[in-house]
Amino acid sequence: MANLRLDLTGQLCPIPVHESRRAMERSSDHDIIEVLSDDPESLHDIPALCFRKGYECDVIKSEDQVFTFIISKYKTNPNPQHSNGTIP
């Protein structure tokens, strides 16, 4: 179950990634954040943000084109910027 839920449907880029970043900054370590978005750009932007921060991100696509991002603030890589020299 998510500690924080953001419904950002109807919001266009850059709002979903910006609000997701703010939620990550406000929440505690080990929290789970659920983000809903229907902006196609968020399919790349939110997982890329999580990768840079070292957090896990699962994406659930629904038939109504609303994407659910489950962001786990568990560090999956303690040094994400230098994992393989590339950032998606």
| Domain boundaries along the sequence of the chain | 4-75
Task: Report how far Cα 79 is from the mean position of its chain's Cα atoms.
Answer: 18
Structure confidence by residue, pLDDT tens digits, 31-75: 999 999 999 999 999 999 999 999 999 999 988 999 999 999 986
The CATH homologous superfamily of the domain defined by 4-75: TusA-like domain (3.30.110.40)
Q: Contact, 71 vs 81, CB < 8 A?
A: no
Q: Is 51 helix (H, G, I), strand (E, B) or coil?
A: helix
pLDDT at 78: 59
